[in-house]
A and B are shown apart, each in its own frame.
Chain A
């Protein structure tokens, strides 16, 4: 399965049950409690992370309001 994460093509093992929550763990995303996830241009509500499946070709952006500079 190939998806785009933060603008980079990312190959992942095939897994039809991969959710946003499991993707955060699989990619070891820093401070997952504080990340906002944009899936194919739409911001996901946090309570949808465990029910939203990741599909090949998806474009995912992780966004942090902490840290950063602007």
Chain B
């Protein structure tokens, strides 16, 4: 598949090769392993002399089709699909850091990522320093001789702050560090990894890329531009010497992914590939519906506050406008003063579903303080922007008036 097509064409055709019997969808190759006629043939594939699959934990034709499409969409040289977004973050970070190293991370994070960095990786001797991603000087000053990467969410979930990613990329690169961006909330439709200055892009494909909430997945996209031939990363030398611009992808796939085993099921790779085709259309609708709902909530007398980068008085509006071309994503947070009123509103909604996900075609809500962030202290919740009255909305692609009407009746 030629890679010169424009974004919306790549969404439909990118990475897709002619299927058997003229099939127009990627075949679901539901096989755990792959047979070879000769011992020499299998040896060549194991040694990497021939392209081929051995075992679905490491590679699978359906998953590789998805990976080719996702790499093209974000301007990457390669992609590695995983069983979940958390598997993608874990694999990407473990590819880079070793015991004794430090991660420098935005404090405005999805709760699962915060827990991975603070607790799980902390238990293996990897320390994470959490910094406000809007405080560029603070980020620069937090880098030390042990720092090995800078990690940021493109739009923080659920804080909905919008870091200046190209400026953060420069800070990372000036220190010789790779810049990792979790762009789940913005998707490559709002901005590609290349436009944001990221070296490694991560998506939970379960969200907008899939679009219908039917499967869990993640992806790591390698832009192939970071110089891994650096004294900070001696463990990359075998991979750099053999694979050059693919050094990160090779170490991620042939070591960490192979050993950890966070591979997607072929059926899920198929569902992701199908869902991605409509990303551009859906994201336009998510963004326009979210802006309409945010404006309604802003005008409602019972709403104490609304956070949405598309609102012109939002402190994040100008950066978001510059980075994302006048589109601001599908997430809104708002509050009505306290937890009981938040619960009353959620319990009164008839269209919006109360569940722990984002990026579905359906409008979703959750009360993060009592659910996805319930294990964190008040101080940690504050770092993530989570207050007791906060309701997060993932605005769907339904008729915007029906969404507004639902919140109107729930508020009143």
Chain A interface residues toward B at CB < 8 A: 6-7, 29-31, 33-36, 43, 45-46, 61-70
A8 to chain B, nearest CB (A): 10
B58 adjacent to chain A (CB < 8 Å):
yes
Q: Are B46 and A63 in contact (CB under 8 A)?
A: no
Q: Report the stretch among B240-248, B271-279, B361-369 that lies at the interface.
A: B240-248
B137 interface residue (CB < 8 Å to A): no
A36 to B392, alpha carbons, bound, how many Å? 46
B61 and chain A: residue at smallest CB distance: A67
The complex places the Cα of A63 from the Cα of B51 at a distance, in Å, of 8
Report yes or no: B51 in contact with A70, Cβ–Cβ below 8 A: no
Q: Which of B51, B54, B67 contacts A69 (CB 8 A)?
A: B54
| B127 partner residues in chain A, CB cutoff 8 A | none
A46 CA to B247 CA, complexed, in Å: 13
B53 on interface, CB distance cutoff 8 Å? yes
**What 4 pairs between A and B have smallest CB-CB spacing?**
A65-B250, A30-B51, A69-B54, A67-B59
User: Known: A34-B246, A63-B242. Is A68-B47 also a contact (CB below 8 A)?
Assistant: yes
Q: What's the least CB distance linking A66 to chain B, in Å? A: 6
User: Are A34 and B55 also in contact (CB < 8 A) when A46-B245, A69-B45, A69-B46 are?
Assistant: no
Knowing A30-B51, A34-B51, A34-B78 touch, does A70 contact B46 (C-beta < 8 A)? yes
Say yes or no: is B48 at the interface (Cβ < 8 Å to chain A). Answer: yes
Tell me if B249 counts as interface (CB < 8 A to partner A).
yes
Distance between Cα atoms of A61 and B254 in the complex (Å) = 19
User: What is the CA–CA distance of A33 and B15 in the complex, to the nearest angstrom?
Assistant: 11
* B50 CB-CB contact with A under 8 Å: yes
| Min CB–CB distance B137 → chain A (angstroms) | 36
Contacting pair A69 B55 (CB below 8 A): yes
Please report the number of residue pairs spanning A and B whose Cβ atoms sit closer than 8 angstroms. 83
Closest to A5 in B: B49
Q: How far is the CA of A46 from the CA of B243 in the complex (A)?
A: 10
Closest B residue to A7 by beta carbon equals B49
Per the bound structure, the CA–CA distance linking A63 and B78 in Å amounts to 15
- Asked whether any CB of chain A lies closer than 8 Å to the CB of B64, the reply is yes
- Asked if B48 and A46 sit within 8 Å, CB to CB, the answer is no
Q: Can you show 13 pairs from A to B with CB atoms below 8 A apart?
A: A6-B49, A30-B50, A30-B51, A33-B68, A34-B51, A43-B244, A64-B48, A65-B243, A66-B64, A67-B51, A67-B52, A69-B258, A70-B258
Find chain B residues with CB under 8 A from A65 CB. Answer: 48, 78, 239, 243, 246, 249-250, 253-254
Q: Is B312 an interface residue (CB 8 A)?
A: no
Report if B398 contacts A (CB, 8 A): no
Q: Which residues of the partner chain B approach A34 to less than 8 Å between Cβ atoms?
A: 51, 78, 246
Report B1-55 residues with CB < 8 Å from chain A CB: 3, 44-55
Q: Could you tell me which residues of chain B, from 85 to 108, have a CB within 8 Å of some CB in chain A?
A: none
Which partner residue on chain B sits nearest A38 by CB separation? Answer: B242
**A69 CB, nearest partner CB in chain B, Å:** 4
Q: Are A69 and B50 in contact (CB under 8 A)?
A: no
Residues of A within 8 A of B3 (CB): 33
* B245 proximity list for chain A (CB < 8 A): 45-46
Docked-complex contact B244 and A35, CB < 8 angstroms: no
Shortest CB–CB separation between residue B54 and chain A, in angstroms?
A: 4
